[in-house]
Amino acid sequence: METSKDLFKDLEIAEKLFLDGSIKNAQKKVRDVYNKTKKIKKIPNKLRHKLNAAINQSKYFDEISSFATNPKRDELITNVKNLIDKPLSDPRKHARAIHNIQGQWQLLDTSSKSASKSQWLNFNELTNKAWESCKEYFEEMKEIKINNARERHKIIEEINNYVMENQKKWPSSKVLVLYLKKMYEKWQNFAPVLDKDLNNLKTLYFASRKPINDAITKQEKINKENKELLILKVNEINDDDNKICIDKFNELKNQWQKIGNAGRKYDNALWSKFNKSADRFFIEKKQAIAAEIEIVNVCIKDLQEDKKTFKEIEKDLKELQNLKHTKEFKEIQSLIQAKKVEGLKKIKKEKILNYKNIYNVLIDKDLKGSARNFFEEDIDFSYKNKESNLEELISCCVRLEILANLDSLKKHQAKRDSIQLELLQNKFNKNINSLDDIDSVISNFIKNFSANDANNEHKTLWKRMEKCFEELI
């Protein structure tokens, strides 16, 4: 029996637990001390005062807990009522929603003071009522599960019959594996089943498959032994003429391919060992591969150091015969592709800059030499224009925005609709002379531009066109 001194120490532990925030543990310790004091005839005043203080502290935390959690419990009750008034169309979602609410209620009970009796009775009554909308669904599910169990029994019977028909002379392991796979897929189609049926069905199912699995294991063992024998035969091949050795190996290889699977654990390893046993017959080929690998490594270095162009490298690689699927060949191909992309980016950048420079050339004749030769005649034509055709310039800008899939100004929407219709008709009629590419549109802009009346509106149109260049090139 514990002494007053022991109980006093327990209360000090409870105080520390309260301070540390371990409220539930502290309250439990206080209850334990209280129950133990009932067995003591005379409680010292000091212990009684300390116990009363601890009890008051415990009640204080209960009040705080109730104050915090009761509104949450009221909210959960409201949520249940909503489910009763408006059940979810999907019964499974409805059931999950009820489960979720019940889980939150239980969490409140474990983390704080339990709900009052009236609160609990109200919540329990409402949740039972909320479940009623799922009742029909669960009854249907029960029937489905019962039927699934019935169908699974049929599958088991089917497997048992297959065993009876084939056990005297089993098909190949490959056929048996495919059969089991088929029956498993069929088995999975009839899920779920009732919990009470699950274990029994599993036991019967695996028992029905066992004779087939045993037959597969037996065949795989024989196949393993036969393949090991062929590996020994490869090791015994010995002829001065390397071609004869390779022919003998290929003959054994044909025999190997007629043997069934040796099992997942061994088959790949045996195949690797079989081929490795013949490595000595292919020394010449290996040497050729090694020489080509060296060529590729040189090409990689040349490409990385820009000693050769990717086109020159591609020409060198055409001579290779044995490296199409090696990591070295993949690496050089990857580098070539990177160089191509890099080159295309550079060309693209230069092209965009050249296009953007055209407007400067139109404004300043001294810059003519920096324009693309493609537009030389158009630029000369522009220099001779006395004034710009603003409508045509706008059309060029809008046309390019359509091609680039960029928005036009609202005030140009009517013109955009007209041009889109024109482009559609040209496409339908297969009109190759239409202004449906970037160079044609730029050419038309240049021809309808004059530096004599160039203004901010013209410049703004060109800036809009520059955005299109970046999208189209």
> Which element (helix H / strand E) includes 405?
none
Residue found under tokens 């509104």: 71
Q: What Å distances lie between residue 50 and 22, 33, 54, 350, CA to CA?
A: 19, 11, 6, 88
* HEC readout, 282-334: HHHHHHHHHHHHHHHHHHHHHHHCCCCCHHHHHHHHCCCCCCCCCHHHHHHHH
Domain boundaries, the chain: 4-133, 225-278, 284-344, 372-472
The full DSSP string for 192-260 is ---HHHHHHHHHHHHHHHHHHHHHHHHHHHHHHHHHHHHHHHHHH---S-HHHHHHHHHHHHHHHHHS-
End-to-end Cα distance, the chain: 93
135 three-class SS: helix
Of 48, 50, 40, 28, the residue nearest 2 (C-alpha): 40
The pLDDT value given to residue 78? 87
**Local confidence band at 436 (pLDDT 50, 70, 90 cut-offs):** low
The pLDDT value given to residue 7? 77
Most confident of 23-37, 172-186, 303-317, 332-346: 172-186
Tell me the per-residue pLDDT of 226-264, one tens digit each, with 9 for 90 and over: 999 999 999 998 887 777 888 899 999 999 999 988 888
CA distance 44 to 412: 98
**Local confidence band at 471 (pLDDT 50, 70, 90 cut-offs):** confident
The pTM score is 0.41
